[in-house]
Amino acid sequence: MISSPFYRTFSCETSVKILTRVLCKSFYTCKPRYAVENPGTHKEKAVNFAKSHSRVPTKYQNDSNPAIKIPRFLRKTKDKEQMDRYYRVKKQCFEGKFESAISEVEKWLSFEAVKTSTILILNGLLYSLFENGKMEDIVRLKETMDSYDIKGDRSTYIVLIDSFGKMKNFGMVSKLLEDMSHFNMDPHYRSYMVATELALNETDFAKAHKYFVRIESVYKEMHDDFCAAFILQLVENKEFAIAESVFQEFREDRTRLGDQTLSAIERYFHSGLLKAKWETNRTTLSTSGICQCCKEKLEETKFGKSEENLSVYFQKLVNNKLNAGGSVHDEEIRRKDKLQELFRLLESEGPFQVVIDGLNVAMHPRYGLEFDPLFKLVESYSTQEQKVLVIAANQLIQPKRSKAISTADHWEAIAYLRSISTIYFVKHNKSGIDDLFLINAALHLCREDNEVKMISNDKFMDHRVNMKPQTLSYFKRWLSEHQVIVHWYDQKIMKLMPEVRECRT
């Protein structure tokens, strides 16, 4: 097996494969099952595998050093010269020949037109220098970039901020963040964390707060120790105005606080420096929102920053979908501006307390299109004096989707559904558009009533996959508070989940 200190071996029950970690720090070789069961046969087979692998190079690895991964952009350009340059620079770094690698990159930056591929080579060198603690060389490369007015890309700035952060150079980190803003680049959340910590070290609490609030709440939740340390610094330095502002931001963003952050907040109230004496207790909530400590019902959540961000996101998403190229039928949809038409319906016919995904509820997993459960569901909410809006996809008015009833009965069912609820038909030829109208309707109604229920079995995975982490966090939380799932027992009986919203038909 390979004897380099950068490599290590482990066993698993998968087929033989090579897993290469990005940035080439470790090279993993998985032994097949027979290597565990018959140790005596492994050596010969492993050698044969290595020989066959050397004859068939993959697009991810270089023949001489399989631990070097060529960036995807370089592979797509098929620029052999630039790929060879990238490999040569990384190989020199692995061999400890940093001066040679730096000299080559400086030569290309100085005497050649800088292309995207050149920046990728620069980024690879910067990261290798950072990993090996070559901070002086990073400063040298940054000076070269400045002398030739080379700005780099987002990855360049991320590694530079990490590097100057490690050198405790707050002024340079602040400048790099300003440059990113000037070039319309979104900083990595870690870059804001670096800037926040350096500002605290400089006792510049205003700037520390400025950078802290730019970290999205999903990352604050992931870094409980960082949030706790930030609050403790504010408490120890009696920056109570900033601390109060941070608590308000936690509330507006609906940030889920970890144990360390909660302990830091308790420290704030027990500091003895506040005007009034405070007592803090940990508590739990009942399903109806009753605090188990004071026995009072918590204040209802209002339509806040997270919901507003979601609303803007989904409005843009549905408009982009409708404005994309499509059939002649789609052209008619775009001219009518269907989203604004939906909002006008909500204003004129509302307010609605329940929004139902009509096709999703009516489509039984085994029996096809069944209107009776949808009718009974609407009737059940109507008897509770709750107004119901049904978002009906185009397929709901296609009789061919119904296996159990005739065309005449189908249209009679649609007419009855109109009589007991308000229906909004989403006529389209694109998958997932009805989901977007359903979500937009529920979000719009939440502006006035944050107890609106959205009934659908859809997990919305096709929309989740393209979301940024913060948007996805907001969306999951919003779904947990508003989505009601329909659980089927047989053809005629279903239950709404969670059980606090139970209803049988």
Domain count, the chain: 2
Please indicate, yes or no, if residue 472 is contained in any of the structural domains.
yes
CA dihedral 111, 116, 120, 125 (to 10 degrees): 20
The residue behind tokens 């037109």 is: 113
- DSSP characters for 229-273? HHHHHHHHTT-HHHHHHHHHHHHHHT----HHHHHHHHHHHTSS-
Q: Are residues 252 and 343 in the same domain?
A: no
Q: Which has the closest alpha carbon to 229: 204, 206, 260?
A: 260
Predicted TM-score (pTM) of the model is 0.68
Encode pLDDT of 464-505 as tens digits. Answer: 888 888 888 888 888 888 888 877 655 555 555 543 333 333
Between CA 429 and CA 442 the distance in angstroms is: 22
- For the domain that residue 109 is a member of, what is the CATH number? 1.25.40.10
> Does 323 score more than 60 pLDDT?
yes
Range of the domain at 170: 56-278
Q: Are residues 366 and 433 in the same domain?
A: yes
Please indicate, yes or no, if residue 402 is contained in any of the structural domains.
yes
- DSSP characters for 282-343? ---B-TT-BBTTT--BPPPPPS-HHHHHHHHHHHHHHHHHHHSS--HHHHHHHHHTHHHHHH
Q: What is the pLDDT of the chain when averaged over all its residues?
A: 78
Encode pLDDT of 389-445 as tens digits. Answer: 998 887 676 655 555 566 777 778 888 888 888 888 887 667 778 889 999 999 998
pLDDT at 66: 53
Q: Are residues 325 and 273 in the same domain?
A: no
Higher pLDDT, 415 or 48: 415
Q: Are residues 242 and 313 in the same domain?
A: no
Q: What is the CA radius of gyration of the chain?
A: 30
Between CA 431 and CA 91 the distance in angstroms is: 48
What percent of the chain is modeled with pLDDT above 70?
Answer: 75
Q: Are residues 248 and 364 in the same domain?
A: no
Q: Are residues 89 and 158 in the same domain?
A: yes
Q: Are residues 110 and 252 in the same domain?
A: yes
Q: Which residues contact 128 (CB under 8 A, 6 or more apart)?
A: 90, 93, 94, 98, 101
Q: Which has the closest alpha carbon to 370: 396, 342, 331?
A: 396
Please indicate, yes or no, if residue 491 is contained in any of the structural domains.
yes
Please indicate, yes or no, if residue 131 is contained in any of the structural domains.
yes
Please indicate, yes or no, if residue 448 is contained in any of the structural domains.
yes
Q: Are residues 97 and 244 in the same domain?
A: yes
Q: Which two tokens stand for residue 443?
A: 């979000």
Mean per-residue pLDDT, 443-470: 86
Task: Find out whether 452 and 446 touch, Cβ atoms under 8 Å.
Answer: yes
Mean per-residue pLDDT, 114-137: 93
Task: Find out whether 199 and 207 touch, Cβ atoms under 8 Å.
Answer: yes
Q: Are residues 451 and 345 in the same domain?
A: yes
Q: Are residues 397 and 270 in the same domain?
A: no
Higher pLDDT, 2 or 350: 350
The helices-and-strands tally (H runs, E runs) of the chain is: 24, 11
Encode pLDDT of 65-88 as tens digits. Answer: 556 888 888 888 888 999 999 999
- For the domain that residue 457 is a member of, what is the CATH number? 3.40.50.11980
Task: Find out whether 136 and 170 touch, Cβ atoms under 8 Å.
Answer: no
Q: Are residues 272 and 355 in the same domain?
A: no
Please indicate, yes or no, if residue 7 is contained in any of the structural domains.
no
Q: Are residues 233 and 347 in the same domain?
A: no
Please indicate, yes or no, if residue 293 is contained in any of the structural domains.
no
**Residue 426 CB neighbour total at 10 angstroms:** 23
Between CA 360 and CA 401 the distance in angstroms is: 13
Q: Which has the closest alpha carbon to 209: 192, 190, 223, 222?
A: 192
Please indicate, yes or no, if residue 149 is contained in any of the structural domains.
yes
Q: Which residues contact 459 (CB under 8 A, 6 or more apart)?
A: none
> Does 10 score more than 80 pLDDT?
no
